[in-house]
Amino acid sequence: MLQLLDHVRVILINTTHPGNIGATARAMKNMGVSELVLVAPKRYPADEADWRAAGAKDVLENAVIVNSVEEAIEGCGLVLGTSARERKIPWPLFDPRESAERAQQSLQAGNKVAIMFGREDRGLTNEELQKCHFHVHIPTNEAYSSLNLGAAVQVLCYEMRMALLGEHPLSGKTLDRWDHPLANAADVERMMVHLEQVLIDVDFLESGSTNQVMTRLRRLFTRQQLDAMEVNILRGILRSTQKALVSRDGGSIAE
Amino acid sequence: MLQLLDHVRVILINTTHPGNIGATARAMKNMGVSELVLVAPKRYPADEADWRAAGAKDVLENAVIVNSVEEAIEGCGLVLGTSARERKIPWPLFDPRESAERAQQSLQAGNKVAIMFGREDRGLTNEELQKCHFHVHIPTNEAYSSLNLGAAVQVLCYEMRMALLGEHPLSGKTLDRWDHPLANAADVERMMVHLEQVLIDVDFLESGSTNQVMTRLRRLFTRQQLDAMEVNILRGILRSTQKALVSRDGGSIAE
């Protein structure tokens, strides 16, 4: 099962210190994880990244640099976000071990899994966390919870490896028997944009307003880990709704 | 049980790079471990140790420096030694998780537990390993097994903390901390009926037809327990959609 580690992607967002990128590469390779995506690193490439990577320079050389979280999670059926603190609207939250068990099930069902790590000082933004199916919290000492970035990557990759080594029996095999593959993150994102437009079209939301409703809907549709067929159905409903509105007033509404 | 972490001692032997001593202090404090013993460090104290320790300088300040392993393990009822490879004379060998479980039992029985980490390049000597009750092996990628010292300390201290927290400290807590009560089944059922009507109104479904779509939508909305607020929002969307349709064709559609 260890070859499934090839389908695990580590994403670092807006990393400030290149040494942490190097330490991440080393921690990943030690655990057999190789796919690294960097979202707009502050200073990279950098010598410090290379020497902290030690024998894991190949992970750095193969790292992909992108500008947005959307690009970073492209193609992933399950997206985990590391979170140091509680948020206003709570999201499903698991420790690294349970997260790895859930990720393992998803990997075995044929999905790609992304683990997102935020900035050294501020972690992930709320917007980034809302793109995640669930959040991972490393249960640190409350009196001193600021884990070094490389150390956090080490713990998560270690748990991924332990899960795939089969130390712990699966608690539920539901996803193994699912009838459709999970939707990929980009398709779900497009659906959320479409949904927001329809909610404006039907005067449920005001255009340009920001409120908790979209956040709650986003949470609802991410924590469920939608499959591809479900996203097709939901998109079909949104299109039908727009067509029905247009046919009744003869106007035109952009999809 | 977390206060038992006060009876865990981390021992670093002949450490070459002071940065690793600092990283060790940070990893320890993050996990609630505070007792550090350094056996003949090559270069210490050192600025690099201080800055890598970040907010864990108190662990460094309280660290004890000794000259021998015997002094370092003084008073400990259980001694674990980290080992990267198999030895000629095999010793009991466990992964970090099982090691932590055994350490936990020993801590609960009133013992002090020491975890020894060897040199960056050569680990522990055979003589040092033979002073251990058992050996701990972190199951690394065979193609690249040289774990950074701070990373190894992080993994072991993390497992110690997890063992003392009891398995899956966060598991099941998500719903305890959820911001709204779960919706009751009757409300969800009414929502499903309402949804089906709207899908007919927007010509997504034909009236009276039976197909898999409603079954799939039902599965989607039941497999992740909706909270009461989410059901309110979804009902609101359905009502808005119907109103928008009515206002555009002047007709009347029953809710």
Confidence (pLDDT) at B87 = 62
Whether A98 and B171 lie within 8 Å, measured CB to CB: yes
- Residue A77: closest CA among A228, A184, A178: A184
Mean pLDDT of A167-180: 46
Nearest CA of chain A to the CA of B71: how many Å? 28
Nearest residue, CB atoms, A95 vs list B168, B236, B241:
B168
Interface test with B, best of A202, A227, A245 (most B CBs within 10 A): A202
Containing domain of residue A241, as a range?
A: 185-249
Task: Say what percent of chain A tops pLDDT 90.
Answer: 62
Which of A177, A208, A231 marks a domain boundary? A177
* Residue B193 forms part of a structural domain: yes
Chain B CB contacts of A32 under 8 Å are: 140-141, 143
Answer yes or no: are the C-beta atoms of A12 and A39 closer than 8 Å.
yes
Confidence at A251, pLDDT banded by 50, 70, 90: low
| B99 and B179 fall within a common domain | no
SS (H, E, C) chain A: CHHHHHHEEEEEECCCCHHHHHHHHHHHHHHCCCEEEEECCCCCCCHHHHHHHHHHHHHHHCCEEECCHHHHHCCCCEEEEECCCCCCCCCCEECHHHHHHHHHHHHHCCCCEEEEECECCCECCHHHHCCCCEEECCCCCCCCCCCCHHHHHHHHHHHHHHHHHCCCCCCCCHHHHCCCCECCHHHHHHHHHHHHHHHHHCCCCCCCCCCHHHHHHHHHHHHCCCEHHHHHHHHHHHHHHHHHHHHHHCCCCCC
Whether B244 and A158 lie within 8 Å, measured CB to CB: no
| B68 and B149 fall within a common domain | yes
CA-based diameter of chain A, in Å? 65
Q: Is pLDDT of A86 > 70?
A: no
Answer yes or no: are the C-beta atoms of A241 and A196 closer than 8 Å.
no
Residue B71 CA to residue B84 CA, distance in Å, equals: 24
Confidence (pLDDT) at A1 = 85
The list of chain B residues with pLDDT below 70 reads: 85-90, 167-177, 224, 250-255
Q: Is B210 helix (H, G, I), strand (E, B) or coil?
A: coil
| B29 and B96 fall within a common domain | yes
Confidence (pLDDT) at A252 = 52
Chain A CB contacts of B144 under 8 Å are: 29-30, 55-56
Whether B151 and A27 lie within 8 Å, measured CB to CB: yes
Q: What is the pLDDT of residues B207-247, one digit of tens each?
A: 877 777 888 888 788 776 788 899 999 999 999 999 999 88
Give the CATH number of the domain where residue B56 resides: 3.40.1280.10
Is the torsion defined by CA of B94, B97, B98, B102 positive or negative?
positive
* Residue B24 forms part of a structural domain: yes
| B237 and B154 fall within a common domain | no
Interface test with A, best of B170, B222, B232 (most A CBs within 10 A): B170
Chain A CB contacts of B233 under 8 Å are: 213, 216-217
Nearest residue, CB atoms, B169 vs list A95, A144, A161:
A95
Give the CATH number of the domain where residue A206 resides: 1.10.8.590
- Per the structure, the count of domains in chain B is 2
| A61 and A170 fall within a common domain | yes
Per the rule left: phi > 0, alpha: psi between -120 and 50, beta: everything else, B91 is beta
Confidence (pLDDT) at B182 = 76
Chain B CB contacts of A27 under 8 Å are: 148, 151
Confidence (pLDDT) at B36 = 98
Mean pLDDT of A205-209: 82
Confidence (pLDDT) at B177 = 61
Confidence (pLDDT) at B170 = 59
Task: Please give the single-letter amino acid code of residue B208.
Answer: G
Answer yes or no: are the C-beta atoms of B74 and B43 closer than 8 Å.
no
* Residue B254 forms part of a structural domain: no
Is the backbone peptide bond immediately before B92 cis, with ω within 30 degrees of 0? no
Chain A CB contacts of B29 under 8 Å are: 141, 144
Mean pLDDT of A72-95: 85
| A73 and A53 fall within a common domain | yes
What crossing angle do the helices spanning A228-249 and B212-223 adopt, rounded to 10°?
Answer: 110
Helix or strand (DSSP H, E) at B12: strand B8-13
Confidence (pLDDT) at B172 = 45
| B179 and B139 fall within a common domain | no
Nearest CA of chain B to the CA of A68: how many Å? 29
Mean pLDDT of A138-162: 94
Confidence at A168, pLDDT banded by 50, 70, 90: very low
DSSP annotation of B86 reads: -
Residues in chain A, total: 255
Nearest residue, CB atoms, A148 vs list B26, B177, B241:
B26
Confidence (pLDDT) at A250 = 60
Nearest residue, CB atoms, A137 vs list B150, B170, B244:
B170
| A35 and A71 fall within a common domain | yes
Confidence (pLDDT) at A146 = 85
Chain B CB contacts of A220 under 8 Å are: 224, 226, 230
- Radius of gyration from C-alpha coordinates of chain A: 20
DSSP annotation of B216 reads: H
Mean pLDDT of A47-53: 96
